[in-house]
Amino acid sequence: MKYLVMKSLKPSVSALFAAATIISGSFIVVATSFADTGGKVAAPSSLNTTIVNKAIVENEVLDAQRAWGEALVAISTTYEKDGIETAKALAEKVIDEAYGYQFGTVLFKPTLTVAPHTFRTTRAGALSYFVGGDPDFPMDKGFALMGWRTVEIKNAAIFISGNTATTMGNVMLTDKDGKTTTVDKTWEFLKDDSGKLRIVLHHSSLPYTEE
Amino acid sequence: MKYLVMKSLKPSVSALFAAATIISGSFIVVATSFADTGGKVAAPSSLNTTIVNKAIVENEVLDAQRAWGEALVAISTTYEKDGIETAKALAEKVIDEAYGYQFGTVLFKPTLTVAPHTFRTTRAGALSYFVGGDPDFPMDKGFALMGWRTVEIKNAAIFISGNTATTMGNVMLTDKDGKTTTVDKTWEFLKDDSGKLRIVLHHSSLPYTEE
Amino acid sequence: MKYLVMKSLKPSVSALFAAATIISGSFIVVATSFADTGGKVAAPSSLNTTIVNKAIVENEVLDAQRAWGEALVAISTTYEKDGIETAKALAEKVIDEAYGYQFGTVLFKPTLTVAPHTFRTTRAGALSYFVGGDPDFPMDKGFALMGWRTVEIKNAAIFISGNTATTMGNVMLTDKDGKTTTVDKTWEFLKDDSGKLRIVLHHSSLPYTEE
Amino acid sequence: MKYLVMKSLKPSVSALFAAATIISGSFIVVATSFADTGGKVAAPSSLNTTIVNKAIVENEVLDAQRAWGEALVAISTTYEKDGIETAKALAEKVIDEAYGYQFGTVLFKPTLTVAPHTFRTTRAGALSYFVGGDPDFPMDKGFALMGWRTVEIKNAAIFISGNTATTMGNVMLTDKDGKTTTVDKTWEFLKDDSGKLRIVLHHSSLPYTEE
């Protein structure tokens, strides 16, 4: 399992060329080069605009969602192969890399929690939810240990604003027996200083069923 | 249950006084001179600092939450007093003023919706959820018509980033018979160009109950 | 001269499909369409992902820069052909469409202003700088009336964060006599609620020359 | 000249209390406590909403500006007392702590630079500007070594959007001989993951003087 580290420093060469090409018989030139040798627009080799982009693009969101699903399955299979301690270590790594507890808190309402521990605003609370075994959260059985094999994500909508992106949709989790659980799920991702997307909000709930 | 900090939340008032060099006469001068030995700082009388602030502060979030609760109760009581048409008109006004459908969509998962209409990403879907009567959403009975009298909001955590703020916590709705329904609720607010907070995400769910 | 209105609601179909390319030999699927029949994903045919994107991408920045240059040239040529009143009306239109004075202020330090009117934080101050004739700003001769014919923009760096993008570089303005003026220029653009980029900061200065 | 809108700048403390003040005779309660002991709303001591705030507030901006001025004076006096090597080490520390080169680049146009080294988008270029001695930037004499004693900052306007804040105004630098240099200066600050403001844009220029 690899978490991709998004580079915040992107050349975006093709995009720049696409934009700089235009100049339709007109006079306005948006160039990006200082090595302009007399001609109207510089050569490719002289492109030297530095771009730092802290905004989020859609592909980064989809990648982060996929990484979450891969991590869940990885914890399940690690648990089965290597036992709870290895699975727990992996869960800690996942939480530290994919969530934003280092910012101070995460708004996390997991699918199966109940009061008074509904909201897992601390790292310990998140870890207990995924792998259980924490006496402070006695109801937790370890959601990530439930034999998950596939995770499918269907976004109803995505809202990108600034350095955050929020998604809402269904997530279908299928276990080793082929049983599928569908949840309604919302995530908000923040792009951190290193360019990595981190989950700052995670609200998951079972679909409403009329009594 | 004790959650940490508020580390980024600083008491504005004292800090502002510490930083600001007084108000001389009529105009506000925000100067930041140090090594200020009494008369060193001579601010021209014409210099005033204009501040445009598109970031969200906490009290704006609490105000927006309260406004949502007030609106829900108002639709209920309007329905009882003035009938469905007046209630529907009010609900439309509330949606147009409190939600962000004009941005293109809202990530709205109401408490009681079911597939295939779980997510109400359109204004019509939101209106139907609140007041019913739309044949495109035949299951909707009108959530805002259910006799609500009080709304209490208890935030577990708030995450402010840029021009958005996200909250997670419990909302307790009590109806005219004194029956209280508790939901797990997440909201994300965006400050629009006019400075008004709008709901761009709303995920509400009934607490999980073990079978 | 057309100002392009950036759509904030983008389908981004190709990008989404590129990303959704489903993890060969693996199990995680990030789908964005429910109309997907045949493959693993068996979903309701009506659900498609709606995306609202308030973040800025590079091309939008380059387009906004180019639009500024085109507008400057347009005011110059309009002045020569149609006189000051028409040029002034155009300048007002440009300011209202390309700058962000409606947010409360713009941080505008034009190239040729002097104290006590160095900073043009009001619309009136900006208009006077471009077309002159305002007794409140007696030094202004109308920068946009100076016979500009071409504008070339060379970005040294671009910084995109959230719904804003900041650029720094040289701008070369050439007039009808072929004389070129080079300035050091910084712009910050904000994407407004309609998806349009607006200048919220504009600092322009002549290059430093050693005495 | 008077604008000062400050409309989004509300005194947080009183507003928060106002919000928590329980709406007597009404029904909407925005509480922030889960330690609700039967009564309507909990006491102040039980307040336990966790808040993470990545947005910038004005006093943070003023603090960061003042820190920049203090650092400049500190480099000057360190140079005089302890020599160039110690001053250079301090300048490196200042750049690493106050600027955002770790994000990939900074949009830095110092007051006295000339082509082809006008823009100092790299850390090395910034360091050379402040303390000189870099053969790659042969014109640099070390701006921070010029005997600065006081720095006064007068903001014309501040624009806060999301996790960034941009300021524009005059900065008056006075040296040990009492000679004052006034510059037109723009800064953009970004709040980093640790909550620290970093300069991501710095455009400084001498006032325009008519020939």
Chain C residues whose beta carbon lies within 8 Å of the beta carbon of residue B51: 104
Q: What is the pTM of this model?
A: 0.82
Instruction: Please say if the pLDDT value at position C43 is more than 80.
Output: no
Taking an 8 Å cut-off on Cβ atoms, the answer to whether C208 and D206 are in contact is yes
Backbone angles phi, psi at C164, to 5 degrees: -125, 155
Query: Looking at this predicted complex, what is its ipTM?
Result: 0.81
Q: Shortest Cα distance from C150 to chain A (angstroms)?
A: 5
For chain B, the C-alpha Rg in angstroms (whole number) is 22
Taking an 8 Å cut-off on Cβ atoms, the answer to whether A163 and B164 are in contact is no
* Among A52, A105, A200, beta carbon nearest to D103: A52
Whether residue B89 lies within 8 A of chain D, CB to CB, comes out as no
Structure tokens belonging to residue C57: 């991408």
Stated as kind and residue range, the H or E segment containing B62 is helix B58-82
Residues whose CB falls within 8 Å of the CB of residue B201, separated by 6 or more in sequence, listed in order: A159, A166, A168, A186, A188, B106, B107, B108, B166, B186, B187, B188
| Residue type, position A50, single letter | T
Distance set, CA D107 to CA A85, B171, C24, D118, D189 (Å): 48, 46, 42, 11, 11
pLDDT per residue as tens digits for the range B161-199: 989 999 999 999 999 999 999 999 999 999 999 999 999
Rounded to an integer, what is the distance from CA C150 to the centroid of its chain?
17
Report the greatest alpha carbon distance in chain D: 77
Structure tokens belonging to residue C33: 């369409």
For residues C62 and A41, the answer to whether their CB atoms sit within 8 Å is no
Chain C residues whose beta carbon lies within 8 Å of the beta carbon of residue A28: 66, 69-70, 73, 150-153
Taking an 8 Å cut-off on Cβ atoms, the answer to whether B201 and A168 are in contact is yes
When comparing pLDDT for C202 and A46, which is higher? C202
Taking an 8 Å cut-off on Cβ atoms, the answer to whether A208 and B167 are in contact is no
Q: Shortest Cα distance from B123 to chain D (angstroms)?
A: 25
Structure tokens belonging to residue D24: 């007597």
Taking an 8 Å cut-off on Cβ atoms, the answer to whether C55 and A51 are in contact is no
Q: Which residue of B has its CA nearest to D46?
A: B2
| CA distance between the termini of chain B | 26
Per-residue pLDDT, C30: 52
For residues B54 and B164, the answer to whether their CB atoms sit within 8 Å is no
For residues A60 and A197, the answer to whether their CB atoms sit within 8 Å is yes
Instruction: Please say if the pLDDT value at position D72 is more than 90.
Output: yes
Q: Shortest Cα distance from B176 to chain C (angstroms)?
A: 37
Distance set, CA D167 to CA A191, C125, C190, D157, D202 (Å): 24, 18, 15, 6, 10
Q: Looking at residue C73, what DSSP letter applies? A: H
Residue appearing with tokens 């994407």: C191
CA distance A163 to C58: 15
**Which site among C8, C12, C151, C152 would you substitute to test the A interface, given the most A Cβ atoms closer than 10 Å to its Cβ?**
C152
Chain C residues whose beta carbon lies within 8 Å of the beta carbon of residue D143: none
Whether residue A164 lies within 8 A of chain B, CB to CB, comes out as yes
pLDDT per residue as tens digits for the range B98-138: 999 999 999 999 999 999 999 999 999 999 999 999 999 99
* Among D28, D34, D163, beta carbon nearest to B161: D163
* Among D34, D51, D192, beta carbon nearest to A193: D192
Share of chain D above pLDDT 70, in %: 77
Q: Shortest Cα distance from C63 to chain B (angstroms)?
A: 22
pLDDT per residue as tens digits for the range C156-189: 999 999 899 999 999 999 999 999 999 999 999 9
CA distance B104 to C193: 10
Q: Shortest Cα distance from D16 to chain B (angstroms)?
A: 6
